[in-house]
Structure 1
Amino acid sequence: MTSPDPDLARDIDACCRLTGEFTLRSGQVAPEYFDKYLFEAQPGLLVRVAQQMVDLVPDETELLGGLELGGVPIATMVSSLTGRPALFVRKKAKEYGTCKLAEGPDVAGRRVTLIEDVITTGGAVRDATRALREAGAVVELVVCAIDRSPEGQNPLADVGLEVRPVLTKAELDAVRASG
């Protein structure tokens, strides 16, 4: 079991919070943006996030589904730490070769825990959940590095998905306010 990293929120916030005007995937305009690629490109921060995710992944998980693009390096690292196989979930099935949506082991009848970088409204996770379920996967949970949805709300309740974040926007805001 991994012990909590008390400095992770401060380090992630310092590394990847940008201020300005940003249009999010949902179409919302935000005054700040968490550029997850800035921490994912830093091996020391990436492994710290992945280590915190390990304890959030249920024991019954058979596959770790990293969502394109930001969830892929995190899922790869969590896979390495847990020994569970990774699955790489595209935004849409490729139109050539195998024409797969999810690269890796077959998902039919298997429990997949999704791995995502940042969730605001959950649009990409919702799409992936529906597509994986259509392929026969059992998808009930997403583990994310940062949940920036409004505190106390589950943006994925409509598809019956539990969200387990390593960090929330409230936690990142708290370290910003105390710093």
Structure 2
Amino acid sequence: MRDLHASLPRPAAEGDLSARIRQAAHLTGEFLLRSGETATQFLDEYRFAADPALLDAAARAMVPLIPPNTEVLAGLELGGVPVATALSLHTGLPIAFIRKKAKIHGTCRLAEGADITGKHVLIIDAVVNTGGQIALSAADLRPLGATITHALCVIDRGRTGRTNLAAHGVELLNLLELT
């Protein structure tokens, strides 16, 4: 794990990735998290995902963290989708786009895009707090034939996500950690 404030080796022109993400995405105030907790610091994943150079740099740095048996990247709605897309561009791995609930029209699928049946699937999200959505998505995808042992995020808030996901048979991997 790397600290959000720690320097990551990057070419000089790119600067420090963790500092760049912090500058783009760090907000202070009072924020209600998905878990129901309130926080005085918030990392707005959409702010770094919306910056093509920053998203690309984060994806490049995450590639070595992808488990070698990964066959499909599964980007969680909504924050995991741009991260998974950027990772796919760097790795050539196909993507499944994972909804929180199966849509009720069209294909009526929970997972769109790449086929996950019988595949080793790596769940991708931008920021993890408790890991709640990853755990729910893993529970939804396994009956569809996906083998899920890992999840990967850009930033682990360092709360209870790692422990909660381990209880669901998912190891959390992260590029940066908010400490």
Q: What is the CA-CA distance between 1:153 and the residue it aligns to? A: 4.9
Contact 2:117–2:145 (CA<8 Å) still a contact in 1? yes
- 1:36 counterpart residue number: 45
- 2:54 counterpart residue number: 45
How many residues in Structure 1 have an aligned counterpart in Structure 2? 168
- 2:5 counterpart residue number: none
Q: What is the CA-CA distance between 1:32 and the residue it aligns to? A: 1.1
| In structure 2, distance between residues paired with 1:19 and 1:135 | 40
Q: Relative to 1, partners in 2 of residues 1:141 and 1:27: Cα closer, same or farther, differing over 3 Å? A: same
The residue type equivalent to 1:20 in the other structure is G
Pair 1:125-2:140 in alignment: no
Pairs within 5 Å for 1:82-97: 82-97=91-106
Pair 1:56-2:30 in alignment: no
| In structure 1, distance between residues paired with 2:109 and 2:97 | 10
Deviations 1:89-130 (A, max 9, x none): 001100011110000122111100111000000111111110
Q: Aligned-pair RMSD on alpha carbons?
A: 1.6
Q: What is the CA-CA distance between 1:155 and the residue it aligns to? A: 3.0
Q: What is the CA-CA distance between 1:166 and the residue it aligns to? A: 0.6
- 2:147 counterpart residue number: 138
Residue ranges of structure 1 left out of the alignment (5+ in a row): 171-179
Contact 1:18–1:35 (CA<8 Å) still a contact in 2? yes
SS at match of 2:164: coil
- 2:165 counterpart residue number: 156
Q: What is the CA-CA distance between 1:152 and the residue it aligns to? A: 9.9
Aligned identity (percent) is 46
Residue ranges of structure 2 left out of the alignment (5+ in a row): 1-7
Q: Runs of 4 or more off by more than 4 Å in structure 1?
A: none
Contact 1:149–1:155 (CA<8 Å) still a contact in 2? no
The TM-score, its normalising length taken from structure 1, stands at 0.89
Contact 1:120–1:155 (CA<8 Å) still a contact in 2? no
| In structure 2, distance between residues paired with 1:152 and 1:126 | 9
Larger deviation, residues 101-110 vs 60-69: 101-110
| In structure 1, distance between residues paired with 2:168 and 2:88 | 25
- 1:26 counterpart residue number: 35
The residue type equivalent to 1:56 in the other structure is L
